Structure 1
Amino acid sequence: MMRVMRSAHIAIVGVVTACPLMTTAVVAASVEENAQICAGCHGENGVPQEKTTPIIWGQNEGYLYLQLRDYKSGARKNEQMSAVVAGLEKADFKALASHFAGLKWPNMNFPSPPKDVTKVALTAIGSVGCTSCHLDQFQGDGTTARLAGQQSEYLFNTMTAFRDGSRANNPGMSDLMKAVQPADLKPIAEYLASLQVVGGQQ
């Protein structure tokens, strides 16, 4: 299996995040073998190694597929992830997406933010209509990401990246985040992280 001689870091949204275990490129193999490479950062039990790494167990299948595809094409910029998926093809993306979507989302028990933070979050969310795509309980659907119960630091970094243009594989999200005040991003992230996952949780 090809070894990638790079610094042991993974850039989740354009910001490099320590992840010393994911230094091997995934190659066309069984989905179980490929999933073990993913577990180096995303966790053996679905709990990521770092707070800035997304939970992918139980994430929506279509969304996972699109992100793998975009990492390979370069539409989503991430040097480490691009190297990891370099040896994969469309069928591999579909198999991995199906595999992780079929697992149970880890129960992280993130705390609810204070009432004033929640109020700021709900006002900002309502102003840009997040629920029109991510649905009322933020479970997402199909190619739209589940946000409920996701790690707040990852959510904050992702929204920031869409806002400043360092992540650009979804123009609609970029436009929406530019309409949100920077000070509102952290309250939104903390609120979304505290929400319960509906169905399929550990």
Structure 2
Amino acid sequence: MPLMRLRLVLAALPLLFFTHLDKIHAADLAAGKAKAEVCTACHGEGGISQTENIPSLAGQPDLFIQWQPIFFRSGTRKNEAMQPIIETLSNEDVRNLGAYFASLPPKKDKTPDADPDLSAKGAQAAAGRRCASCHTDTYAGTKGVARIAGQREDYLRKALHDYKSGVRSGGGMAAMADVAYPLSAEEIDALAHYLAHL
């Protein structure tokens, strides 16, 4: 019997160790909120952007948010306004920001669809390009994949053009370039309109 108990204790040790590590590395939402104050000028109060070509961050998946500073740090993504901010962030800040923005409710579009015909074309393009296979059926994103439902229309349009031209790289670059490259300007407009009004 004592040998059996010893085996159970030894088997449980790794579990106890990794459970303890999770607690050590758990994100701090209050710290994330405090750090996010610098983000408000561009990305808006509560992570809802009011600025042209600047994405909303509220409701984005935690890992997606965490990856973006890493891409900026490495130079894979480039943005003059982001660079000085990214340089001040520790890995802990990045983890806290990811958890904080993921905890916020995404933008709820209260305006009616400005152009139902354009949205219908966008829905067709989204289905044809299999956008849901990565971004999920509701386009809410998951893990390291962006939430695109309800994102700013101008930002979605810009991101698709950037992927198409190769200006934007980073996570999902190969998949996004493959999707965006064959899109016409009209399809990009339709996709951006459709997704922004979801």
Aligned partner of 1:194: which letter? H
Equivalent runs, 1:119-130 vs 2, <5 Å: 119-130=120-131
Aligned to 1:16: none
Q: Runs of 5+ in structure 1 lacking a partner?
A: 1-29, 196-202
Give the Å deviation of 1:49: 3.2
Shift of 1:137: 1.2
User: Residue in 2 aligned with 1:45?
Assistant: 46
Residues 171-195 of structure 1 deviation map (CA, whole Å, 9 limit, x = unaligned): 2111210021222101111110111
How far does residue 110 in structure 1 lie from its aligned partner after superposition?
4.1
Alignment of 1:173-192 (within 5 A): 173-192=176-195
| Secondary structure, counterpart of 1:79 in structure 2 | coil
Q: What is the distance in 1 between the residues matched to 2:109 and 2:121?
A: 23
Q: Is 2:197 the partner of 1:194?
A: yes
TM-score of the pair, normalised by structure 1: 0.77
1:31 and 1:126 map into 2 onto residues whose CA distance is: 36
Structure of greater Rg: 2
Match of 1:114 in 2: 115
Number of residues paired by the alignment? Answer: 166
- Deviations 1:3-31 (CA, angstroms, capped at 9, x unpaired): xxxxxxxxxxxxxxxxxxxxxxxxxxx43
Q: Tell me the equivalent position of 1:163.
A: 164
Q: Are the counterparts in 1 of residues 157 and 192 from structure 2 also a CA contact under 8 Å?
A: yes
- Maintained 8 Å contact 2:120/2:194: no
> What's the C-alpha RMSD, in Å, of the aligned pairs?
1.5
Name the structure 2 match of 1:9. none
Percent identity reads: 30
| TM-score normalised by structure 2 residue count | 0.78
Q: How far 1:124 sits from its partner (Å)?
A: 1.5
Q: Which protein is richer in helix relative to its size?
A: 2
Task: Give the gaps of 5 or more residues in structure 2.
Answer: 1-30
AA at the equivalent of 1:126: A
- Rounded to whole Å, the distance in 2 between the matches of 1:68 and 1:83 is 11
Q: Which amino acid aligns with 1:181?
A: S
Partner of 1:97: 98
